[in-house]
Amino acid sequence: MKKIYDLKNWKKESPIDWGFHKVITPENSDCEEVQIYRLNLKQGEVYRLESGNLEMHPVLIEGKAKLVNNEKLDIEMNQFDSFYIPSNNLVDIQPLENCIFYIAGAKCENLGEISYRKFDKTLPIGDIHQIHGEGAGAREVMFTLAPTDRASRIIAGLTWGAVGAWTSWPPHQHEKDLEEVYCYFDMPKPDFGFHISYFESGKIEDAVIHKVSSGSMVQAPCGYHPTVATPMTRNAYFWVLAAFETDRRRYDLAIIDPAYDK
């Protein structure tokens, strides 16, 4: 039986209250593989992150923190630094300032290994630092968990578009192989953008348009999903792909909507 999706419910506003929050999980969303959490920590408190049966990939969206109590992760984190832990691991996070983490999760198949990536926007264009699209659709991408990194299902990164420009054009989908979630940041209200979702090629009359700002998180378990910023706003988001099968953990499986593949 074909699953019925409700695009209107694909956006969730992540909580701003202190603590660890489940934002998108198989229990509360249309996504089956990708999971998203938000962790808001006060300066001085310590939080123990335990991966359980998941692989987890946290990115520090705001603030500074120190990772402790893990022999492979004993380091100070700055904004946009990230790390990865496979299942059955833990790390203590000590905020040096008030912090916001966005955390990706997915089923772990024991293929990953603990890793850490310092954010460095001065990296030359290559495997980690990339420019995607062109013209009004050009955007800057920094992988936080690249296809070449060892993991089970997750690929992830940070994207910044130009002011008032498209950040995922032409529209694309990868529903046979991967699910995706877009997690927006650095777009405090009244700044906002639009996240557009639709099922069939060129059928924009059926599209659902979500207004997004900092903290908005939008699912893309299937269908096409372009995004665009309003004038004076730059779309910025942490995107997470999770593969249905470990051998489909690839970044080259997107299918462009033929109606806009010109």
Q: Per-residue pLDDT for 94 more than 60?
A: yes
Task: Give the model's pLDDT for residue 6.
Answer: 92
Quick: pLDDT tens for 162-177: 999 999 899 999 999 9
Task: Give the model's pLDDT for residue 200.
Answer: 95
118 vs 147, 175, 202, 211, 262, CA distance in Å? 17, 31, 40, 31, 37
- The answer for residues whose C-beta is within 8 angstroms of residue 125's C-beta and 6 or more apart is 131
pLDDT tier for residue 73 given thresholds of 50, 70 and 90: confident
Q: Give domain 7-260's CATH architecture.
A: Sandwich (2.60)
Contact assessment for residue 214 and residue 116, using Cβ atoms and an 8 Å cutoff: no
Task: Give the model's pLDDT for residue 18.
Answer: 98
Instruction: List the domain boundaries for the chain.
Output: 7-260
Task: Give the model's pLDDT for residue 4.
Answer: 85
Whole-number Å distance between alpha carbons of 90 and 71 = 11
Task: Give the model's pLDDT for residue 1.
Answer: 56
Q: Which residue has the higher pLDDT, 254 or 2?
A: 254
Task: Give the model's pLDDT for residue 146.
Answer: 98
First to last CA, the chain: 35
Task: Give the model's pLDDT for residue 252.
Answer: 95
Percent of the chain with pLDDT over 90: 92
Across the range 189-213, mean pLDDT stands at: 96
Whole-number Å distance between alpha carbons of 254 and 262 = 16
Across the range 139-144, mean pLDDT stands at: 98
Q: Per-residue pLDDT for 2 more than 70?
A: no
Whole-number Å distance between alpha carbons of 165 and 104 = 26
Task: Give the model's pLDDT for residue 208.
Answer: 98
Whole-number Å distance between alpha carbons of 151 and 110 = 8
Mean residue pLDDT across the chain: 95
Quick: pLDDT tens for 231-252: 999 999 999 999 999 999 999 9
Q: Per-residue pLDDT for 72 more than 80?
A: no
Whole-number Å distance between alpha carbons of 187 and 209 = 17
